[in-house]
Amino acid sequence: MQKRKSRIQAFLSHPLSQIILFVLILAVIQLLSAAGLISNSLVFAIGNTLIYAVIAIGFCLLLGYSGLASLGTAGFIGLGAYSAFYVMQEFGMPYIVALLATLVVSIVIGVVVGFISLRIEGIYLAILTLGLAEILRNLLMAMKSTVQIEIEKIRLFGLLMDTRGGYFLILVTFAVLFWLTANLIDSPTGRAMLAMKNSTSAAQAMGISLMKYRLLAFVISTVFAAVGGLLYMMYVRTMTTATSTLLTLTTSLNILGAVIIGGAKSLWGTTFGVFIIYGIQSMFLSRIPFFIENPAFMTMVTGVLIILVVMFFPGGFAQIAVQLRQRLKQIAAKKGKEGGSDGG
Amino acid sequence: MFAAFVNTICGSLLTVCITCLATFAVTLIFKTSTTTNFAQGSIAALGCYVTAELFGTFDLPVWIGVFPGIVVGILVGLFVDVVIFRNGKNVNALGKQIITMGLVSLIFGGIPLIFGNPEAIPFEPFYNTVKMGTTPNFLIPFLGGELVLSKHAVLCAAITAVILAGLFLLLKFSKWGLAVRATAANEFTAELMGINSYAITAASWAIAGALGVLAAVMYAGGGTRIGPSFMTTIQVNAFLAGILGGFSTFHGPIVGAVCIPVAANCVGFLANFPGLSGITRWNMVIVYALMLVVILIKPQGLLGKPVVKKV
Amino acid sequence: MAASYVQVDRLRRKAQLYESLTDQDSRRWEGKLRTARAKLERAQAGLQATGLTLPEDVVLKVQDLCMYFGGIRAVDGLSFQVKKGEIFGLIGPNGAGKTTVFNCITQFYKPTSGTICFENKSGQVVDLNREKVHDVILHGIVRTFQNVEVVREVTVLENLLIAGHRQYTSNLIQQALHLPILKREEQLIRERALQVLDFMGLTGYKDWYAMGLPYGVLKKIEIARTLMCDPQLIILDEPAAGLNDTETAELAGLIRNIQKEYRCTILLVEHDMGLVMDICHTVCAISFGRLLAIGTPAQVQADPGVQSAYLGVSEEV
């Protein structure tokens, strides 16, 4: 009995099995909605939230592990979204080509901006990326104010990616990127990033090239953001840049908020943070009149949470969860001891 | 053609003033608190809303209403430094940066709750109130053409010049200025020397808040529509100006703040040439790229000095 | 084809890794081992000679080193040599430029002028000024810091793994997919880290987070980290600062042990004269960035220049 329990625990503590379990649950939800048990809009909101989770995971690596902040997330989401539009709608190419285009564009721009700003100091990254995002938004808006993809144009290996197919594609993308990031964190790369965050001098003395790993973390975060933009266009299929908040500073700040609030060093914490900031809004609050009239209310709450978490709980919800679990364990151990002595 | 070019440059006068004020504020905080204040623009927008509300609801002229707005800017600035930064558990440079980002979120969300979401907020430029005639522009004959100078911009330029000159004189010659420079160089040593660095950083936040609101009111007076994020572009330019000029001095960023709007307008001027009409949408992209090239060649900025890190 | 030392070092490690894998499962890895060895040979052939030489028994030679910060001459024309396998002490009053010298050797500062020649692990003499700060470690130079720089967010063991960073040869894809080759590498480096922890008497702290550990332990972790990197020259910046007398005595024994066990050279800056005189074979005294005296501890102690620098010159002679 005990043995089986510990085996289950070992299974659950492995990131790969965690992610598979998570994906299975969300896949079942989709199937339940197909059977009419759950409303379609709720499932759609879950898919939408997962897109932000993809973006946030990349940001987690940048902020929690490398100790760098970027405000360019929205700009790279825009790059991904517009590459998706031009490649699939205008040129009629399949999804894979759009993915490749997104990767190439985001890597090239990420490397150039990252290299120049990181050469000076880590703190400059946020400034230069903020500038980049604002400029990109204006440029993209001037190029085309409304982008829209027809559903027939979204094809992956010949398969039509409608709302249901898109949902599964998002799930798979999330799972793969989550797993890769978890692996990277648990490898020399992740440790090198942490070393750099704690002490740049120690990292350099241990042979860690600051530029290499800072740039790596930044480029990974830009690629994830751009992939998020691509997924968004694939799933939602339309965006009016002038009125949508997707490409504004608010999105960059929300992603930052999700990572900080959930726990900058925990991928699950980050995913949880995204569900707090985007999920609650799109799944539940969007039905309550007060929140429909005041869409900015959640932005304000996000701001307050960011400030409080940085001030008092630098580890975010993940840290609070760990502390709670330890407390529970202590209590359980105490009880177990008492119970044991009773029995003996 | 030449007259048109001069007009283009004069057209950036107001933006230059606003950017200069915002840049000085950002630089002051960068140097005394070693953080980048991303909330600079949103605090300014909040103050500007107060001024607009006083103008729209109570008919208080903008040149009076700007002062309550500035007070709000000062109070929010002080709140950030005294209440938030001082009470956090070991908040480091990155933590401060993130707190200011959180503040942006807070203000973005808070403004619509306090002031509602009106379609357009009424506002007026400064000159309406000082009886400078009814036309918005000065027209000066110039090289066979006509030089158009907005009265609002000229007035703002005068105010900006006076304020910046005053601040630089204070920095250079007053005891306060010496204390700021000492804190900027090394906060710990400054404290050992008997400088109250708490008071210095708090004062910097107050000044930054005030300058921000003033800049925002000038910007709104120039005809820009007010919104929670209407100062974002200015703030972005202020930061870029700081990097371009080099954060290690106070005058470097100001030089950057003059260069960026002028350069943007100059690139926009190229649209007058045949075949280049599409360039306007690219002008900030080009300016940004040019700036990247400059800091690639001179990472410490145009007027910056290299800094050696102690290990 | 020209190859850099960094590439050769990486290929050498790769070949070593495949060797150890071949021992386990020869059929699967033999082919890769052969290619790795061939690549290594080609790269070694392409490695250009530096044309620098050092006397037989010298490992580090600092020649006319100058480091100016604006108008301040922190180091001003300093020259000295460090012999292989000795414990070399650098002493001087506060602000004499000792740490600056260390920072120049480890390339945290790029010297204003002067040369720093070093005979690395593979017997090649290199000019350190041409190396990047994070590549110095590949030649076998590792350092500690005056104010302890331990990665506080990870465990003690992980701190040592970080120190072994350059020994990993897996590329990004191998790491992102956690391929078997990374796991094998990780296992080898982990074993090594455990050995070092055992040597330093830190095994009990293995899984503790560095945050909140006592100062003496943090100092030991820093020294343990240097041992992870096949050190040829260990640079200790004030190892005894903040330690009490018992701990200092223990440290003296430890430094001697390290020198014997790892057969490396040790260069240290220290204010505790007792420690310096006790363990150093050669002592070099500097003041205001210039050399005052160099020799055995007794010689330096007796030098009138050194005495006046430390105690000040009496006005009435």
CB contact under 8 A, A209 and C134: yes
The reply to whether C209 touches chain A by the CB within 8 Å rule is no
How far apart, in Å, are the Cα atoms of C308 and each of B73, C18, C299, C301, C315? 59, 59, 15, 11, 11
A196 contact residues in C (CB cutoff 8 A): none
A123 contact residues in B (CB cutoff 8 A): 35-36, 93-94, 97
Q: What is the DSSP letter of B88?
A: S
Cα separation, B46 vs B114, in Å, equals 10
- Alpha-carbon gap: C178 to the closest alpha carbon of chain A (Å): 6
The reply to whether C145 touches chain B by the CB within 8 Å rule is yes
pLDDT number for residue B296: 85
- Alpha-carbon gap: C106 to the closest alpha carbon of chain B (Å): 11
| End-to-end Cα distance, chain C | 67
Please tell me which residue of chain B has the smallest CA distance to C68.
Answer: B308
Mean residue pLDDT across chain C: 88
The three-state (H, E, C) secondary structure of B97-156, written as one string: HHHHHHHHHHHHHHHHHHHCCCCCCCCCCHHHHCCCCCCCEEEEEECCEEEEEEHHHHHH
Would residue A2 count as lying in a domain? no
User: How confident is residue C284, by pLDDT bands cut at 50, 70 and 90?
Assistant: very high
**Which residues between 67 and 106 in chain A have a beta carbon less than 8 angstroms from any beta carbon of chain B?**
67-69, 71
CB contact under 8 A, A253 and B242: no
Would residue A342 count as lying in a domain? no
Q: In this model, does residue B120 exceed pLDDT 80?
A: no
Greater confidence, B190 or B40?
A: B40
3-state secondary structure of C140: coil
CB contact under 8 A, C178 and A187: yes
B311 contact residues in C (CB cutoff 8 A): 99, 103, 108, 145
C108 contact residues in B (CB cutoff 8 A): 311
Averaged in consecutive runs of 10 residues, what is the pLDDT profile of chain A (344 residues)?
A: 73 84 89 84 90 95 92 93 92 90 95 88 85 89 87 78 86 94 94 93 92 95 96 91 85 91 90 89 78 80 88 86 88 73 42
Mean residue pLDDT across chain B: 85
Cα separation, C217 vs C37, in Å, equals 41
The three-state (H, E, C) secondary structure of chain A, written as one string: CHHHHHHHHHHHHCHHHHHHHHHHHHHHHHHHHHCCCCCHHHHHHHHHHHHHHHHHHHHHHHHHHCCCCCCCHHHHHHHHHHHHHHHHHHCCCCHHHHHHHHHHHHHHHHHHHHHHHHHHCCCHHHHHHHHHHHHHHHHHHHHCCEEECCHHHCEECCEECCHHHHHHHHHHHHHHHHHHHHHHHCCHHHHHHHHHHHCHHHHHHCCCCHHHHHHHHHHHHHHHHHHHHHHHHHHHCEEECCCCCCCCHHHHHHHHHHHHHHCCCCHHHHHHHHHHHHHHHHHCHHHCHHHHHCCCHHHHHHHHHHHHHHHHCCCHHHHHHHHHHHHHHHHHHHHHHHHHHHHC
Would residue A180 count as lying in a domain? yes
The reply to whether C30 touches chain A by the CB within 8 Å rule is no
The reply to whether B289 touches chain A by the CB within 8 Å rule is no
User: How confident is residue C317, by pLDDT bands cut at 50, 70 and 90?
Assistant: very low
pLDDT number for residue A343: 41
Interface B–C counts its CB contacts (< 8 A) at 6
Would residue A318 count as lying in a domain? no
Please tell me which residue of chain B has the smallest CA distance to C107.
Answer: B311
Residue whose structure tokens are 């990254």: A125
Domain range for residue A291?
19-312
The reply to whether B106 touches chain A by the CB within 8 Å rule is yes
- Identity (one letter) of the amino acid at A289? P
User: How confident is residue C305, by pLDDT bands cut at 50, 70 and 90?
Assistant: confident
**Which residues between 161 and 190 in chain C have a beta carbon less than 8 angstroms from any beta carbon of chain A?**
161-163, 165-166, 168, 170, 172, 175-178, 182, 186
Cα separation, C317 vs C311, in Å, equals 14
Most confident range (mean pLDDT) of A115-124, B111-120, C13-22, C113-122 is C113-122
The reply to whether C132 touches chain A by the CB within 8 Å rule is yes
How far apart, in Å, are the Cα atoms of B86 and each of B27, B37, B201, C252? 20, 16, 11, 43
Residues β-bridged to residue C297: none
User: How confident is residue C115, by pLDDT bands cut at 50, 70 and 90?
Assistant: very high
- Specify the DSSP element, H or E, that contains C72: strand C72-83
Copy the structure tokens of residue A76.
């790279």
The reply to whether B308 touches chain A by the CB within 8 Å rule is no
Q: Are strands C233-237 and C265-269 parallel, antiparallel or unpaired?
A: parallel
- Alpha-carbon gap: A158 to the closest alpha carbon of chain B (Å): 37
- Alpha-carbon gap: A255 to the closest alpha carbon of chain B (Å): 11
- Identity (one letter) of the amino acid at B33? S
Residue B72 · residue B45 · CB < 8 Å: no
% of chain C with per-residue pLDDT over 90: 43
CB contact under 8 A, B308 and C103: no
> Would you tell me how many other CB atoms lie within 10 Å of the CB of residue B138?
15
Cα separation, A8 vs C82, in Å, equals 58
- Identity (one letter) of the amino acid at A68? L
> Would you tell me how many other CB atoms lie within 10 Å of the CB of residue A9?
9
User: ipTM of this model?
Assistant: 0.90
Q: Delimit the domains of chain C by residue range.
A: 5-46, 58-152+196-311, 157-194
User: How confident is residue C257, by pLDDT bands cut at 50, 70 and 90?
Assistant: very high
pLDDT number for residue A342: 46
CB contact under 8 A, A120 and B112: no
- Specify the CATH class of C58-152+196-311 in words: alpha beta
C103 contact residues in B (CB cutoff 8 A): 311
User: How confident is residue C5, by pLDDT bands cut at 50, 70 and 90?
Assistant: confident
Residue A315 · residue A271 · CB < 8 Å: no
CATH of the domain at A90: 1.10.3470
pLDDT number for residue B310: 57
Residue B81 · residue B70 · CB < 8 Å: no
Residue A238 · residue A154 · CB < 8 Å: no
pLDDT digits (tens, 9 = 90+) for B70-91: 999 999 999 999 888 888 776 7
- With a CB cutoff of 8 Å and minimum separation 6, the contacts of A277 are A52, A254, A257, A258, A261, A298, A302
Q: What is the DSSP letter of B225?
A: P
Please tell me which residue of chain A has the smallest CA distance to C132.
Answer: A209
- The sign of the dihedral angle between the CA atoms of B92, B300, A130, A270 is negative
Rounded to 5 degrees, what angle do the CA atoms C104, C105, C111 make?
30
Cα separation, C275 vs C295, in Å, equals 16
- Specify the DSSP element, H or E, that contains B8: helix B2-11
Cα separation, A260 vs B156, in Å, equals 40
CB contact under 8 A, C69 and B308: yes
Residue B144 · residue B3 · CB < 8 Å: yes
CB contact under 8 A, C162 and A184: no
Q: How many domains does chain A have?
A: 1
- Alpha-carbon gap: B175 to the closest alpha carbon of chain C (Å): 26
Would residue A331 count as lying in a domain? no
Would residue A126 count as lying in a domain? yes
Among C178, C190, C192, C209, pick the best mutation site for testing chain A contact (most A Cβ within 10 A). C178
User: How confident is residue C56, by pLDDT bands cut at 50, 70 and 90?
Assistant: confident
The reply to whether C104 touches chain A by the CB within 8 Å rule is no
Q: What is the pTM of this model?
A: 0.90
Q: In this model, does residue C10 exceed pLDDT 90?
A: no
Q: In this model, does residue C202 exceed pLDDT 50?
A: yes
% of chain C with per-residue pLDDT over 70: 97
- Residue in A183, A189, A191 closest to C158 by CB: A191
In the sheet that holds C125-127, the strands lie side by side as C72-83, C58-69, C113-119, C125-127
A216 contact residues in C (CB cutoff 8 A): 172
> Would you tell me how many other CB atoms lie within 10 Å of the CB of residue A40?
13
Residue C39 · residue C168 · CB < 8 Å: no
What is the arithmetic mean of pLDDT over C33-53? 84
pLDDT number for residue C212: 85
CB contact under 8 A, C176 and A199: no
What is the arithmetic mean of pLDDT over C197-214? 90
Q: In this model, does residue C261 exceed pLDDT 60?
A: yes
Would residue A343 count as lying in a domain? no
What is the arithmetic mean of pLDDT over C299-317? 74
Would residue A334 count as lying in a domain? no
Residues β-bridged to residue B202: none
Copy the structure tokens of residue A296.
């900015």
